[in-house]
Amino acid sequence: MKKIAFHTLGCKLNYSETSAISKMFPQSEYQIVDFKEEADYYVINSCSVTQLAEKKTKTAAKQAKKRNPNAKVTVMGCFPQLNPDKLSELEAVDLVLGNDDKFNILEYIQNPESERATEVHVSNINKIKRFFPSYSFGDRTRSFLKVQDGCDHFCTYCSIPMARGRSRSANVDNTIAKAAEIGKTDVKEIILTGVNIGDFGKGSDESFYDLLVKLEKVEGIERIRISSVEPELLTDEIVDLVANSKVFLPHFHLPLQSGSDATLKDMKRFYDTALYADRVNKIKSVLPDACIAADLIVGFPTETEENFAETKQFIVNLPISYVHVFTYSERQNTRALSFKNVVSPAEKKKRSQALHLLSDRKKNVFYRENIGRKCSVLFEGNIIETDNGEKLISGWTDNYIKVYTKYDEALVNKIEEVELKDEFYEDGFLV
């Protein structure tokens, strides 16, 4: 029996697709092993959102080849789609597959064109219309359900539309069928994922809201997180649905990227700070305990010190729970490359550190606002050993607060009600 190992970099969407692709390999012929083990085949689902992500992909390929020089190493996904030549030149890589071609991986592995030369299959992503449904498995507690792929926005800093193609999705019924498959497993929580999930149903008479209405009724699924939705696509009816639901969780991820209208305009975002603030305030008006996360990019070419100061103040003024901070990374063939102003690496680092500190303060305030609150926690199976030898397990509340408690096997993959008290361990509450 041949051994095959998978390694995923990047977004939740990648994780759902890696799981689906791994299921293509017949269990009678292939044994899935850990990526750190010796295998006959290594498959790396790559990320290309930053230069660092590309570097991690190359490193993973080299490590795999070092582990077994005779193994066949495949790199698939966004990096090959954007820069296949960078990978085909690597001695460690045997097979390069673009974002549509990766779903034919079994055929390419079983019927190689050459035993020596690196094989490259990268289709024109702009012509791809098919949607490949997928969801992750292997985690007992939660599953990432892919509901959408691609993006039509073409923000000036972003290469994702060139890597993933145009926005597309399955219909509601087909997506519900996949959710129902998850509902028949032990998984308690679904996380909806995609490139721009608010675009679900674009070009049809179905909408993201229509999908949510039916997802709420899927048997066997106790919790659903909507994940990341563009602010201009988060409608009042979606927020109200979550507020009145026993299944959808009070946790929203709203990409912001900048708190300066001038920078947002240069980024070609589809909203301004007024609309963003309106969406945050709408959520808090009906879900006061909701967790709201934001994405921010520091060091965008036209981001002045004044623009950055506006961003910081905007976050200070809003009830944001925490922030994901990304340092601007130049991406090939994006419009931002033509912008003349460049923020120095030192200034980027300084701004990033400032926002990380602000995020920590916001998160601390959010956590303390929840002291005394009773909430449901889905406990995971990972055991954490403290410095004094005590064993703990962790989980997440409905509004995405980390909670630790004394290890008990009976708690794993169970949803329990706890009261959050003024007692902490590392990055979460201790109950």
What digits encode the pLDDT tens for the residues 74-86? 999 999 999 999 9
Low-confidence winner among 193-197, 265-269, 316-320, 341-345 (lowest mean pLDDT): 341-345
The confidence score (pLDDT) of residue 248 equals 98
67-96 average pLDDT score: 94
Residue 110 has pLDDT above 70, yes or no: yes
Asked, for residue 231, whether it belongs to a domain, the answer is: yes
* Domain identity same for 365 and 378: no
Instruction: Determine the structural domain holding residue 385 and report its residue range.
Output: 374-430
Asked, for residue 314, whether it belongs to a domain, the answer is: yes
Low-confidence winner among 139-143, 252-256, 370-374, 385-389 (lowest mean pLDDT): 139-143
The confidence score (pLDDT) of residue 340 equals 85
Residue 260 DSSP class? -
Q: Are the beta carbons of 185 and 140 closer than 8 angstroms?
A: no
Residue 399 has pLDDT above 90, yes or no: yes
Rounded Cα gap, residues 210 and 52, in angstroms: 38
Tokens representing residue 133 in the block: 């449904």
* Domain identity same for 409 and 345: no
Q: Are the beta carbons of 248 and 237 closer than 8 angstroms?
A: no
Residue 140 has pLDDT above 90, yes or no: no
Asked, for residue 381, whether it belongs to a domain, the answer is: yes
The confidence score (pLDDT) of residue 338 equals 93
* Domain identity same for 114 and 147: no
Q: How confident is the model at residue 392 (pLDDT cuts 50, 70, 90)?
A: very high
Q: Side-chain half-sphere of 422: how many Cα atoms within 13 Å? A: 3
Which residue has better confidence, 11 or 252?
A: 252
Asked, for residue 130, whether it belongs to a domain, the answer is: no
Q: What is the chain's length?
A: 431
| CATH number for the domain that contains residue 90 | 3.40.50.12160
136-160 average pLDDT score: 92
∠ CA 254-320-427 to the nearest 5 degrees?
105
* Domain identity same for 314 and 380: no
163-180 average pLDDT score: 97
Q: How confident is the model at residue 381 (pLDDT cuts 50, 70, 90)?
A: confident
* Domain identity same for 111 and 148: no
The percentage of residues in the chain with a pLDDT greater than 70, rounded to a whole number, is 99
Domain count, the chain: 3
Of the candidates 369, 392, 422, which is a domain's last residue?
369
Rounded Cα gap, residues 125 and 162, in angstroms: 7
* Domain identity same for 6 and 41: yes
One-letter amino acid of 123: S
Reported as a single tens digit per residue, the pLDDT across 342-360 is 899 999 999 999 999 999 9
Asked, for residue 28, whether it belongs to a domain, the answer is: yes
Q: Are the beta carbons of 342 and 301 closer than 8 angstroms?
A: yes
Tokens representing residue 363 in the block: 């998160």
* Domain identity same for 226 and 323: yes
Report helix, strand and coil shares of the chain as percent, to nearest 5.
Answer: 35, 25, 40
Average pLDDT, the chain: 95
Q: Are the beta carbons of 401 and 376 closer than 8 angstroms?
A: no
Q: Are the beta carbons of 402 and 427 closer than 8 angstroms?
A: yes
* Domain identity same for 260 and 381: no
411-430 average pLDDT score: 95
| CATH number for the domain that contains residue 242 | 3.80.30.20
Rounded Cα gap, residues 126 and 161, in angstroms: 9
Asked, for residue 309, whether it belongs to a domain, the answer is: yes
* Domain identity same for 218 and 110: no
Reported as a single tens digit per residue, the pLDDT across 176-230 is 999 999 999 999 999 999 999 999 999 999 999 999 999 999 999 999 999 899 9
The percentage of residues in the chain with a pLDDT greater than 90, rounded to a whole number, is 92
- Phi and psi at residue 304, to the nearest 5°: -85, 170
* Domain identity same for 329 and 387: no
Of the candidates 323, 341, 369, which is a domain's last residue?
369
* Domain identity same for 352 and 401: no
* Domain identity same for 380 and 311: no
296-321 average pLDDT score: 98
Q: How confident is the model at residue 138 (pLDDT cuts 50, 70, 90)?
A: confident
pTM: 0.92
CB atoms within 10 A of CB 223: 21
Of the candidates 354, 369, 384, which is a domain's last residue?
369
Residue 114 has pLDDT above 70, yes or no: no
Residues paired with residue 228 on neighbouring β-strands, in sequence order: 253
Q: Are the beta carbons of 80 and 96 closer than 8 angstroms?
A: yes
The confidence score (pLDDT) of residue 38 equals 95
Asked, for residue 75, whether it belongs to a domain, the answer is: yes
| Closest-CA residue to 359 (of 327, 321, 401, 311) | 321
Asked, for residue 337, whether it belongs to a domain, the answer is: yes
Question: Is the C-alpha dihedral spanning 70, 72, 75, 81 positive or negative?
Answer: positive
The confidence score (pLDDT) of residue 391 equals 95
